[in-house]
Amino acid sequence: MSEGVGAERDRPFRVGVLGHGTVGSAFRELIEQRADAIAAEVGVRPEISGVLTRSRGDFADILERSDLVVELIGGIEPAREYALATLAAGRHFVTANKQLVSSHGEELFEAAAEQGVQLRFEAAVAGVVPAIRVIGETLAAAHIERVYGIVNGTTNFILTAMQRTGASYEEALREAQELGYAEADPTEDVTGKDAAAKMAILARLAFGTPVHVDDVPHEGIERVTAEDIAYARELGLSLKLIGSAERIDGGLSVEVYPAFLYAGHPLAAVNGSYNAVTIESPAITEITLSGPGAGGSQTASAVLGDVISAMIPPPFTPSPAEHLPLVTDRESAFYMHVEVADDPGVLAQVAEILGLQGVSIESVVQKGIGDDARLAMVMHPVLESKFRAAVDLIGRLDFVRSTPRVIRVIAETFE
């Protein structure tokens, strides 16, 4: 080895770490373990220049001594303030913070572009699954039509447990909390808000249109019952919380909702806390990426990947904004569950109301329960507003005993 190469390998790349919790401490360990291998590969050695928590370290001092700052605190403030200060100082910034990027992404992109430094956030979406890199870099030349998938491991764990054991939502949530897959306060996950933040980020990258997390309608899994899952199994369906971003009629639809999938769908096989993202483009057909959606060491690995990318130019710049209008009414197939009086003609009346709104029924399961009956139906794809109008009318019929429950069905089948 020549002296010059040895000297280059020892050139330090100073990384300041904000936050030293689950991911921050795993990141610090990983960088220490991998520094020699990275130096040999890249020619530059990453080293920790300082660590900040609420009780330790000083941000201004760490920034001063860093080439790049990694933010692993979470939430909006002070993460946003630290991000803007880092970028303004001409240092690269890497974060795993979906709240920050999905609500202040434009401000951060602009600040990074102004200074010609890198802003990377692979770990903010789907943990170690490299969705950001594939959309932003590998597929930078592709015209993406749709990005969708399972981007929340907590809800996928709960739904998988309900399907495997017949457990109620509450029982499956308790199991997820005991095993560390759900937080003590699971609201962000189970309401779909966490997935909405991730879809806002994926949509921004895939379609070049700024999407704020508050622009993403989201429905969670709290109202899913063991009964819905059991009926759906009879119809050959399994339930997933789906995040979807798609070009529709010259606009962009970004949403999060529980949906039934037929058994052959690639996402139907993604179980437990795993995440998966499918990207569709005419040029590439489709790519599905799947893997662990969280975990300290997994997330730290994605963060370190971003740090290494920032050590090597050219800088990553997000595609220019397209400003597609956001679309909120779109076609989908639906499942509906409703309790009705077990009288002749009831099914015919329900079918008539659906028919008047242009909704056609694909399959029905009907079961008697004493004087009442339960109907579980799957409809062919229809514009959501028409289906919701029919459900509203059905809910008001005299013989209807419960508020109809509605869940989308992804009607595509893969042979």
Token look-up 């660590």 returns: 51
Q: Is 105 in the site for ligand NAP (CB under 6 A)?
A: no
Residues 213-242 that bind ligand NAP (CB under 6 A): none
By beta carbon distance, the residue nearest ligand NAP is 21
Least spacing, CB of residue 59 vs ligand NAP, in Å: 8
* Contact assessment for residue 214 and residue 237, using Cβ atoms and an 8 Å cutoff: no
Residues 281-300 that bind ligand NAP (CB under 6 A): 294-296, 299
For this structure, is 98 an active site residue? no
Nearest in space to 15 (alpha carbons), one of 296, 309, 293, 297: 309
- Paired residues of 247 in beta bridges: 252
State how far the Cα of 240 lies from the Cα of 259, in Å rounded to an integer. Answer: 6
Decide whether 64 or 339 has the Cβ nearer to ligand NAP: 64
Least spacing, CB of residue 251 vs ligand NAP, in Å: 30
Nearest in space to 266 (alpha carbons), one of 292, 238, 295, 300: 238
- Report which DSSP code applies to 320: P
Q: Which residues contact 77 (CB under 8 A, 6 or more apart)?
A: none
Among 31, 62, 68, 96, binds ligand NAP (CB under 6 A): 96
Number of residues lying near ligand NAP (CB under 6 A): 23
Among 49, 66, 97, 160, binds ligand NAP (CB under 6 A): 97
For 58-151, list the strands marked E by DSSP. Answer: 68-71, 92-95, 119-120, 146-150
Least spacing, CB of residue 144 vs ligand NAP, in Å: 23
Decide whether 297 or 349 has the Cβ nearer to ligand NAP: 297
- Report which DSSP code applies to 402: S
Active site residue: 98, 193, 198, 240, which one? 198
Q: Is 136 in the site for ligand NAP (CB under 6 A)?
A: no
Identify whether 282 is preceded by a cis peptide bond (ω within 30 of 0). no
Residues that bind ligand NAP (CB under 6 A): 19-24, 52-55, 72-74, 78, 96-98, 123, 127, 294-296, 299
| Residues annotated as catalytic (active site), given as ranges | 198
